[in-house]
Structure 1
Amino acid sequence: MKMFNLSFDIEKEEQWLNEQLQKGYRCTTISGLGIYTFEKTDNRYVMRLDYQDYLPRNKFKEYKAIYEDFGWSHINGHRLGGRQYWQKEADGQNEIFSDRQSTGNYYKRLMGYSFWLGMLCLFFSFSIYKDSGLYLTEGLWNMKGSLFWKALLFETPFALLRFLPVLMAVFFGTSYYRAYRKYSILKAK
């Protein structure tokens, strides 16, 4: 069975994947385009997601070996960085982070990921808007009557697309804030 899910929130994606596992499906592959392949199983599985920055080849092998020693199988992820997908049969030891320090490090990596993607989106949106604004139709605001409304309706979907980087920057800012809150609560304990 193939399913499509495009999620920028790593925790919501993990929750969605575990919901599929609870329905009796085991994840076999994940494509970069948000297509997940599941197969029916009678066993209970659990999935955890991790975010890693760039790891050299030998460090990535060590990273994978540590988790595989505890029964996790690596479904998807790359040593160049990004989300790492881990799955194993549910056995009571269903967390990939064994202590507060490793959980804190995870939230710090998430904060860095969210911060830099948010900055990239802000930079991109600034470069788009600095000279032109959202609506690019020349003389749009001077048009009258039905010509104005037709031009406005035609241009609005494109203006919304140009606004997308700003929305993404807000999303990544929110993601940064959530990771920061969880990290600070963890540090306060």
Structure 2
Amino acid sequence: MKMFKVFFDIEKEEQWLNKQLQKGYRCTKISGLGLYTFEKTDKRFVMRLDYQDYLSKEKYENYKGIYEDFGWSYIKGSQRGLQYWQKEDDDQNEIYSDRQSKSNYYKRLMNYVSSIGIMTLIFSYLVYKDSGLYLTEGLWSMEGALFWKAFLFETPFVLLRSLPAIMTIFFGYSFYKAYRKYSILKEK
């Protein structure tokens, strides 16, 4: 079974993947474009997502080896970015067992989300700086049915051009959620 889904929140993605596992579908492949491949299984699995800053090849191999030693199967990842781990449910399903490692995870997550958010913000600025949202010349001076036809025709394109700005808002919200969790862990 294949499903297409896009996430702006790593924790929501992890929750969704675990819901699929509860329904009896084990994740076997994840493409970079949000295409998830599942296969039916009778076993109970759990999935965890992790974010790692850039790791050298040696450190990355050590990182993977540690997880695999604890029974985790590597689904997808790279030397920098999201890592997808899956294993059979055995009541030891957490990747981070102490406050410090969980706090470090949220700190890495904040850096990740803020860097993507800043890139989408810069891209939004470059898209809008000279042109604005509606590009039809004289649109605002048109009247009656001609105005509405031109306005409605161009609105889907405006929404498409607005996508980077909308994504910036989602990434900002994800940053805020990670920051709150990081702050709570630091306070205790």
Fold agreement, TM-score > 0.5: yes
Q: Which residue of 2 aligns with 1:62?
A: 62
The one-letter code matched in structure 1 to 2:122 is F
1:1-189 matches, within 5 Å, as 1-79=1-79, 81-189=80-188
Q: TM-score, normalised by structure 2?
A: 0.96
Alpha-carbon distance between aligned partners in 2 of 1:163 and 1:10, rounded to the nearest angstrom? 23
Shift of 1:6: 1.6
* Cα RMSD for the two superposed structures: 1.1
Shift of 1:87: 0.5
Shift of 1:25: 1.9
Shift of 1:122: 1.2
Give the match's secondary structure for 1:85: strand
The one-letter code matched in structure 2 to 1:173 is G
Please say if residues 8 and 174 of structure 2, whose CA atoms lie closer than 8 Å, have aligned partners that are also in contact.
no
Q: Which contiguous aligned blocks of 4+ residues in structure 1 show a shift greater than 6 angstroms? A: none
Deviations 1:116-143 (A, max 9, x none): 1111111111112222211111111111
Deviations 1:24-62 (A, max 9, x none): 222111111222222222211100000112211111001
The one-letter code matched in structure 2 to 1:184 is S
The one-letter code matched in structure 1 to 2:58 is N
Shift of 1:178: 0.3
Shift of 1:4: 2.0
Please say if residues 14 and 48 of structure 2, whose CA atoms lie closer than 8 Å, have aligned partners that are also in contact.
yes
Alpha-carbon distance between aligned partners in 2 of 1:18 and 1:106, rounded to the nearest angstrom? 20
Alpha-carbon distance between aligned partners in 2 of 1:98 and 1:176, rounded to the nearest angstrom? 22
